[in-house]
Amino acid sequence: MLELRDRMMVSKTRGDRGEGAVSYIAVIILIAAILGAISVSGIGTKIANGIGTAIDKVTSATPKS
């Protein structure tokens, strides 16, 4: 009886070997769509300017004595 259960469990899990190519392609398409929306909306420029401003603040800061 236990052998039958063990064989059934092995056969059920044998097909689960990780993500398929379709899943990876779907993620790539989703990321491309998000990046495309960011570039078209102009928010990418705002983000880049904000990062640049933060870097300028850090690099031009004078150390406290």
Domain membership flag for residue 15: no
User: Per the structure, how many domains does the chain have?
Assistant: 1
Assess contact for 44 and 38: CB atoms under 8 A. Answer: yes
Q: Helices 21-41 and 43-59, interaxial angle, to 10°?
A: 80
Domain span including residue 42: 20-59
pLDDT digits (tens, 9 = 90+) for 24-57: 999 999 999 998 988 888 888 888 899 999 999 9
Confidence band for 12, pLDDT divided at 50, 70 and 90:
low
Q: Is residue 3 part of a domain?
A: no
Residue 39's pLDDT is what? Answer: 83
Please report whether residue 43 resides in a domain.
yes
User: d(Cα 29, Cα 17) in Å, to the nearest integer?
Assistant: 23
